[in-house]
Amino acid sequence: MTGRAVLRGAKRVALYTAAAVFTVFAVFPFYWMFLTAFKQNRDLYVGATNLQHVPWIFNDPPTLDHVRLLFFGTPYLVWVKNTALVGLAVVAITLGVAVPAGYSLARLAGRWGERLGIGIFLTYLVPPTLLFIPFARVISLLGLQNKLGALVLVYPTFTIPFCTWLMMGFFRSVPRDLEEQAMIDGYSRLAVIGKVVLPLAVPGMLTVVIFAFTLVLQEFVYALTFISQVERMTLSLGVPVALVRGDVFYWGSLMAACLITSVPIAVVYSSFIDRFIAGLTAGAIKG
């Protein structure tokens, strides 16, 4: 009996240890951003050969200097504004295109709906890596280099396929009976969509907004290809590329920018991740 208790205790210890190891691995870079963002320079730039100086903690009182420099001495706020503009435009386009398409595929396209839906979803697998070179030519033909318009035009290529697929799933989950009942009551199909279906699909549309926005925030390749002017950059391009002066990295401000930008996104995103996963695995999991 005690042997069994020991075994169970050992299992608990192993479980908690494993959970701790995974968490530390996942969180460590964020902890590092945090430390770097608030450390004084003399605490920060101590070579790793000095074994007496422990880099894992604040050895001197934390400072807000790097954050101040980031906000008032760098174009960070301009990038925030650019990102917000591009994000809003892309979200609007995505909603306007993906919501009707999702409904059409779920309800109106019949047996072709499924196949077309999968076809549209598969375009999500065509990566920017394959398309940035032809786009470089298209963008220069359109005269959109160094313009935020280039990003607004191109980003929906990955938000629309995924969000159409998401919305299709959402509309499928709206009970058909509700719609049919409303149509028997004399509403047209369009009126049913407006008055019955869309209110029920608000959580779905919210998910689309979040995903479209975070996908925009995550994007790097297209931004790097189309934008070279610092004032036209978005956050995910400007922070890694333009917070360097010559060969000198301003690590304090750089990590402050990474922390301030990624933590809010990560928190919002992870609260929606189950829907994202449900969209990706539709088919592999039978629920």
Query: Interface residues for another protein in 61-120 (CB under 8 A)?
Result: 96-98, 100-101, 103-105, 107-110, 114, 116, 118, 120
**230 part of the interface to another protein, by CB under 8 A:** no
Binding string, 182-211, against another protein, x = CB under 8 A?
Answer: ----x-xxxx--------------------
Of the candidate spans 2-10, 65-73, 74-82, 130-138, the one that interacts with another protein by CB under 8 A turns out to be 130-138
| Binder among 1, 5, 51, 248 for another protein (CB under 8 A) | 51
Q: Give the residue among 210, 230, 208, 206 at the shortest CA–CA distance from 218.
A: 210
Using an 8 Å Cβ cutoff, are 163 and 94 in contact?
A: yes
Interior CA angle at 95 toward 93 and 100, to 5°? 110
End-to-end CA gap in the chain: 40
Stretch that binds another protein, among 57-65, 74-82, 126-134, 174-182 (CB under 8 A): 126-134
Residue 18 to residue 237: CA distance in whole angstroms: 35
| Residue 189 near residue 202, CB atoms below 8 Å | no
Please report where in the chains the tokens 């101040």 appear, as a residue.
68
Interactions with another protein, residue window 142-171 (CB under 8 A): 153-154, 156-157, 160-161, 164
**Candidate residues 140, 173, 181, 229; the one interacting with another protein per rule CB under 8 A:** 140
**Cα–Cα distance for residue pair 198/95, rounded to 1 Å:** 12
Taking the least distance from each CB to another protein, the nearer of 65 and 240 is 240
| Shortest Cβ 114–another protein spacing (Å) | 6
Q: Which of 134, 175, 199, 246 binds another protein (CB under 8 A)?
A: 134
Q: Which helix (H) or strand (E) holds 249?
A: strand 248-249
Which of the ranges 65-73, 84-92, 124-132, 197-205 carries the binding residues for another protein, by CB under 8 A?
Answer: 124-132
- Contact between 125 and another protein by CB under 8 A: the answer reads yes
Q: Give the 3-state secondary structure of residue 244.
A: strand
Kindly give, in sequence order, each residue whose CB lies less than 8 Å from that of residue 198, ignoring residues fewer than 6 positions away: 99, 205
- As a whole number of angstroms, the distance between CA 37 and CA 56 comes to 13
Q: Of the two residues 121 and 170, which places its CB atom closer to another protein in the complex?
A: 121
For another protein, the binding residue among 4, 42, 137, 245 (CB under 8 A) is 137
Q: Which one of the spans 58-66, 69-77, 198-206, 277-285 is the region binding another protein (CB under 8 A)?
A: 277-285
Number of amino acids touching another protein (CB under 8 A) = 110
Q: Of 235-254, which residues contact another protein (CB under 8 A)?
A: 235-237, 239-240, 249, 251, 254
Q: Using the minimum distance from each CB to another protein, give the nearer residue, 63 or 172.
A: 172
What three-state secondary structure class fits 79? helix
Q: Pinpoint the alpha helices (H) of 106-234.
A: 111-122, 128-141, 148-154, 156-173, 176-184, 189-192, 198-200, 202-218, 221-226
Q: At what angle do helices 65-73 and 76-103 cross, to 10 degrees?
A: 70
Closest approach of another protein to the CB of residue 240, in Å:
5
Least separation in angstroms between residue 2's CB and another protein is 21
